[in-house]
Amino acid sequence: MAEPKNSVKTQAGASLQEIGMRKRLNAWAANHQLVAVETLMRLLSNPLGSLLTWMVIAIALTLPGALWMALDNMEQLSGRFQASGRITLYLTPKATEQQGQQLSDRIAALDSVANTEFIDADTALDDFRDNSGLQAALDFLPENPLPAVILVEPPLGIEQAALLRLIEQLKSYQLVDSVQLDMAWVERLQAMLALAERLIGVLGVLLALAILLVVGNTIRLAIAARVDEIRVVKLVGGTNAYVRRPFLYTGLWYGMVGGLLAWLLLILCWALLNGPVADLAELYGSGFELKPLSAGAAMALLLAAMLLGWLGAWWSVSRHLDHIEP
Amino acid sequence: MTMVQFDRVGKRYPGGKEALSGISFELARGEFAFLTGHSGAGKSTLLKLMMLMERPSRGQVFVDGQNLGRLRAGQIPYLRRKVGVVFQNHQLLFDRSVFDNVALPLQIAGYTPAEAGRRVRAALDSVGLLGMEKRNPIELSGGEQQRVGIARAVVNKPALLLADEPTGNLDPELSAEIMNLFLRFQQVGVTVLIASHDIALIEHMGHRRLILDHGHLHEGQIAGAGGIYG
Ligand SMILES: Nc1ncnc2c1ncn2[C@@H]1O[C@H](COP(=O)(O)OP(=O)(O)OP(=O)(O)O)[C@@H](O)[C@H]1O
Ligand SMILES: [Mg+2]
């Protein structure tokens, strides 16, 4: 009992603890580290208990993630479509039907052309009459005002430069009066992609809210299970920040594990779809391949998941924790 | 050198009657005093006011020169670090060892593990439980649990030690032992206030007595100067 007497003696009047600022800071950092490791261990040591929360987070992240991956690929594809719009060749009035057909066949044989279709002037007029409703007016015309037309379809995914070269080449034919690249449908596609992007954004926000609620609720339960401990900690001088810390870290880890699971699910989606998509693309003569989520996007996904987990915990903690008093 | 000062303090619980009224007294630094009174007299309430577990309805409470009514919420934890408390229901955590229970206030205050370890062992030694640091408090007897609670209350070397019925449920021998423990802390300068029913033990020990009766303090006026002994 020699040491205890000593230790009791030193208690005389010692109301203020003289711990240096630096020591305090180190202790604070050490506590963060300790709490971070402890909370992670606690979660991992009971994976079944946390599995539901992890899966909800993972699925809520995978859904917009997969859509975003699809959209990203569509945009990449539409970039190629842009260069593969249909080309319409208007032939000079001098061109005979036979000459036009020959030219059409010759163009079809070019490497940079997938397909052609020749429409002679009379057929063009018939089509126009049927579709325009201007039949009466057309009947008044002394002669057919429409030129013969060759529709040229470049292969899917042709390079922009190759397409420009093709257009130059087509213009150089003597029978060709003018060349028109039809881009309207590409523009329509892009408008739809923009809309899809907006929808994914809205979906993402809703699912982010779902994650906040799920993590918030999980943390609420964790708080309820540790009310006694919180009371004691506050009784012996624990600050709100100290009491909050383990719960905030827990939220962070929920987000991280959920984010990692979502990432795995997205890789799985990609692996399942990549084969069929490549096969399909090959049928269309395109070397298109499904791109997986980029490393940057995967990182962003993970960080967003951690942030959401932390926010969910913070929301729950600020609603429930500060009211627990000894 | 006053450690505690009550100035015309009243406490009315919401919807209840007056638990305390017109309480004025002082505790000098290093003083040892008992707080007695019938059940429901307001003893626990008075102790809780010093920890800001309750706030007074009227009057002012000063601890270590600080007006508790002026403390912001963020400062309350730092007040509590200066005040050690022992409750009858020991408020120990059964999901961790005796050592970790006692270390909690130090961990909160930011001690390094090495420093905390030294102090925890010293505190456990002072209550005679050095061999039990690795045990879970649930395996200990009532008296041993009570002593773990005391070790936790003094481990951070508080200037003020409050105990609410620390010997309730203990046999007379153990009660006397625990009271002696509190005396030892007083001998090294800690101000000690013990709420207790145990009239026999209190009479035996002597020291100043504050007596509460239906929320009124009887010796308050006289006690202001130096207290009543015997
Ligand atoms: N939280 C509360 N809400 C309402 N009334 C309360 C509350 N706590 C105590 N009281 C009332 O205040 C009065 C004083 O209670 P207190 O607990 O301080 O008495 P005590 O002297 O500690 O009694 P005991 O010796 O039985 O522990 C009692 O009438 C009690 O009913
Ligand atoms: Mg009481």
Which domain-ending residue is among A120, A149, A182?
A182
Q: Which ligand is nearest to the CA of B216?
A: 1
Which domain-ending residue is among A161, A182, A203?
A182
Q: What is the mean pLDDT of residues B127-134?
A: 90
- The answer to whether the beta carbons of residues B166 and B143 sit under 8 Å apart is no
Residue A109 sits in the same domain as residue A192: no
Q: Model ipTM?
A: 0.88
- What is the model's pLDDT at position A258? 94
- Cβ contact B53–A26 (<8 Å): no
Rounded Cα distance between A57 and B209, Å, is 61
Residues from chain A that touch B50, judged by Cβ atoms under 8 A, are none
Residue A198 sits in the same domain as residue A273: yes
Query: What DSSP string describes A180-241?
Result: EEE-HHHHHHHHHHHHHHHHHHHHHHHHHHHHHHHHHHHHHHHHHHTHHHHHHHHHTT--HH
Residue A223 sits in the same domain as residue A132: no
Give the length of chain B.
230
Q: Give the model confidence (pLDDT) of B73-122 as tens digits.
A: 889 999 999 999 998 776 899 999 999 999 999 999 888 888 899 999 99
Residue A61 sits in the same domain as residue A101: no
Residue A128 sits in the same domain as residue A265: no
Residue A297 sits in the same domain as residue A282: yes
The partner residues of B40 in beta bridges, in order of sequence, read none
- CA-closest candidate to residue B98, choices B30, B54, B148, B46: B148
- What is the model's pLDDT at position A14? 40
Q: Kindly state whether A267 is in contact with chain B, defined as any CB-CB distance less than 8 angstroms.
A: no
Rg of chain B over CA atoms, in angstroms? 17
- Report the share of chain A in percent with pLDDT over 90: 31
Residue A151 sits in the same domain as residue A192: no
CB-based contacts of B137, cutoff 8 Å, min separation 6: B90, B92, B93, B94, B97, B98, B101, B145, B148
* A4 is a domain residue: no
pLDDT bucket at A158, cuts 50 / 70 / 90? confident
- The answer to whether the beta carbons of residues B85 and B45 sit under 8 Å apart is no
Chosen from A235, A242, A244 to mutate, greatest number of chain B CBs within 10 A: A235
Q: Residue B96 carries which DSSP code? A: S
* A6 is a domain residue: no
pLDDT bucket at A79, cuts 50 / 70 / 90? low
Q: Give the model confidence (pLDDT) of B142-181 as tens digits.
A: 888 989 999 999 999 899 999 999 887 778 888 888 888 8
* A1 is a domain residue: no
Q: Is the dihedral of CA A295, A297, A300, A304 positive or negative?
A: negative
> Cβ of A101: how many Cβ atoms within 10 Å?
15
Q: Which residues of A277-300 are buried (b: 16+ CB within 10 A; e: fewer)?
A: eeeebeeeebebebebbeeebbee
Give the length of chain A.
326
* A253 is a domain residue: yes
Q: What is the mean pLDDT of residues A216-224?
A: 93
Q: How many domains does chain A have?
A: 2
Lowest mean pLDDT among A42-56, B37-51, B139-153: A42-56
Pairing state between β B18-28 and B160-164? unpaired
Which domain-ending residue is among A182, A204, A221?
A182
CATH number of A167's domain? 3.30.70.3040
Residue A153 sits in the same domain as residue A278: no
- What is the model's pLDDT at position A2? 37
- CA-closest candidate to residue B180, choices B126, B99, B132: B126
Residue A144 sits in the same domain as residue A227: no
Ligand 1 pocket (Cβ < 6 Å) reads B 13, 16, 19, 37, 39-45
Helix ranges restricted to H, A1-141: 2-9, 21-45, 47-81, 97-108, 121-132, 135-140
Residue A178 sits in the same domain as residue A266: no
Residue A243 sits in the same domain as residue A305: yes
Tokens of A206: 């809703």
The enclosing H or E element of B123 equals helix B113-126
pLDDT of B130 higher than 80: yes
- CA-closest candidate to residue A59, choices A193, A202, A197, A214: A214
Note down the domain range covering A139: 86-182
* A11 is a domain residue: no
- The answer to whether the beta carbons of residues B116 and B156 sit under 8 Å apart is no
Rounded Cα distance between A78 and A68, Å, is 15
* A15 is a domain residue: no
Tokens of A49: 């208990």
pLDDT of A220 higher than 90: yes
Q: Which domains does chain B have, with CATH numbers?
A: 2-221 (3.40.50.300)
Residue A68 sits in the same domain as residue A105: no
Q: Which chain A residue has its CA at the smallest distance from B158's CA?
A: A15
**Local structure of A178: helix, strand or coil:** strand
Index of the ligand 1 atom closest to the CA of residue B54: 1
